[in-house]
Amino acid sequence: MKAVRWNFASTALGAVVGLVQLWILSRILPPHEYGVISLALMVIQFLNIFLDFGITNSIVRRAQITELELSSLYAINLAMGAGTFLAAYLASDWMGTFFKSPELVIQIKIMAFGFLLAPFAQQQRAIMVREMHFNFIAMVAIVTLLVNFAVVVGLALVYREAWVASVSFLVSTALSSAIFFRKGLTERKLSFAFQWESARPHLRYAIQLVSDSLINVVSVNTYPALMARLVDLTAIGGYNIAYGISINLIDRLKPVLMQALFPAFAKIQDDDVKLAKNFLLVTSYASLINFPLLTGLFVASTPLVHTFFKPEWYFIDDLVRILCLIGMFRSVDVPVISLLLAKAKMYLNVRVGIFKLVIGIALAYWLGKNHGIIGIAYSFLIVQASNTVFGYYLLVRPCLPGLGRAYFISVLIPLLQVLPICVVAGLLTRFPPSSLPMLNLALIVVGGGAAYVLGLLLTPFAVVREFVLLAGKNVSPKVERLLARRLNK
């Protein structure tokens, strides 16, 4: 919970700043330019897989690790950074031609220099995650976030071109790398000693992670890539905005849980009874946080889009609703991935991912050809829903047999808890009480939030009451006592 608190602080600020940045850029930059930024970020996200190569998670998972292992892995990180830089820089012209966007070339070339800098921070950050020193990690994340915001918005106001996002990405990467590198020098002696035998066990484990990450990133980015090819760059810009105000909220919360769950699960990986109990609790707790956010966004998507975005972006309304449903399915995956990491069974997710990728590409292409951007979004929803439903049988049960009924109940209970949001926020959306769009949106948010909190306090489910008390405890002992009295009544 201490780890989650620190991670949540930086992530919550990141979500707010990210939404404000998205809104500002969508109003400053033309839709085409915003589409170029979205495409460049998609390419860089793909290449980031090879930059880390799963070494960070391998360091986190190891109970004991030697200095020779760390120095060997450090050398590999630097080599991967140089290789990824060259691949991105040299392939930038081809990418610009493939996506029919000459502006994309300069974007990727600028961002590629970040691959030379990032490896200097990766290992120190991994060590701090392993030791669960999330306060320092969160503070660095907040500083780099604010610097990135200031740089990109400042440059966008002056130049109004897509390359400003690349410059801000490079500046924030350089700053983060410098801070972690300096911290590492104060705690450990820098060494470039290399021994293949020391690095090989880590690489064997890391290959599983790289394979899974590669398949996952390709699967997720298949949809915007097809939009760029089958529709246009405005479509991918709109998709990125819709993603930013829906699924991205959950994607930002994922590291909050993942960074805390993975090392925590790794410590109890051999105690299946304790691991199963905590896995079910975390599944319910995470859903009690994620489901209401996405349900509220689903209900309020139309007033939200029409209040904050220009008419040229109104087409994203349907996209936001579809992506909110996708986000609810995706949010259930976080504890599952942490479980697979702790049990060293990520190869199971690789197998599922390959099947999901093949089906997703075929379905997205067919629906995209016939129904455009909405068809592609629906293909994403179908694939994600199938992955979540069958994920128990293919991923969870091989790690923790016999959880069937308990696992599905752990997801169903949070789903029932969001019904008050659907009723209250839905009525306020259907029958707006005011002629002012901003006021209506505020009432929807407040009304839906109040309905959810009331539902938590009146809940008949023991796991929800435990969640409420735990949340109160992390606010203050006084709040915990007040909540305990309320729940006991």
What DSSP string describes 286-328? HHHHHHHHHHHHHHTHHHHHHHHS-GGGTTHHHHHHHHHHHHH
Whether 288 and 257 have beta carbons less than 8 Å apart is answered as no
Give the DSSP letter of residue 131: T
Residue 406: half-sphere exposure toward Cβ, Cα within 13 Å: 14
The predicted structure's pLDDT at residue 447: 92
Six-digit token pair at 238? 């709109």
Kindly tell me the burial class for residue 268, based on how many C-beta atoms sit within 10 Å of its own C-beta (0-12, 13-18, 19 or more): middle
Q: How far, in Å, are 73, 331, 456 from residue 419 at the CA level? A: 49, 18, 11
Query: What is the rounded CA–CA span in Å between residue 310 and residue 295?
Result: 24
Which segments of 338-421 are extended strands (E)?
none
Distance of CA 415 to the CA centre of its chain: 21
Distance of CA 188 to the CA centre of its chain: 31
Predicted confidence pLDDT, tens digits, the chain (489 residues): 565 666 667 767 777 787 788 778 877 877 777 777 777 877 777 777 777 666 666 666 665 667 777 777 777 778 888 888 898 888 888 888 877 778 888 888 888 898 888 888 777 777 777 666 667 777 888 888 888 888 888 888 888 887 888 888 888 888 888 888 888 777 777 776 776 776 666 666 666 666 666 676 666 666 666 666 666 666 777 777 788 777 776 776 665 555 555 556 666 666 778 888 888 888 888 888 889 989 998 998 888 888 888 787 888 888 889 989 988 888 888 788 777 777 777 778 777 878 887 888 888 888 877 777 888 888 888 988 888 888 888 888 888 888 878 888 988 999 999 999 999 998 998 888 887 878 888 899 999 999 999 998 888 888 888 888 877 776 666 666 776 666 666
Q: Is the dihedral of CA 89, 94, 98, 99 positive or negative?
A: positive
Query: What is the rounded CA–CA span in Å between residue 444 and residue 357?
Result: 37
H or E element in which residue 488 lies: helix 477-488
Tokens 């992530």 belong to 11
The predicted structure's pLDDT at residue 2: 60
SS3 at position 475? coil
Q: Is the dihedral of CA 384, 8, 296, 471 positive or negative?
A: positive
Query: What is the rounded CA–CA span in Å between residue 395 and residue 60?
Result: 21
State which amino acid sits at residue 97.
T
**What phi and psi, each to the nearest 5 degrees, are found at residue 465?**
-60, -40
Query: What is the rounded CA–CA span in Å between residue 474 and residue 443?
Result: 28
First to last CA, the chain: 27
Distance of CA 479 to the CA centre of its chain: 30
Angle (deg, nearest 10), helices 301-308 and 437-457: 140
Distance of CA 161 to the CA centre of its chain: 26
Six-digit token pair at 114? 């970040």
Neighbour-count burial for 292-323, b at 16+ CB within 10 Å, e otherwise: bbbbbbbbbbbbbbbebbeeebebbbbbbbbb
Six-digit token pair at 193? 């000693």
Q: Is the pTM of this model over 0.85?
A: no
Tokens 């290789």 belong to 83
The predicted structure's pLDDT at residue 435: 79
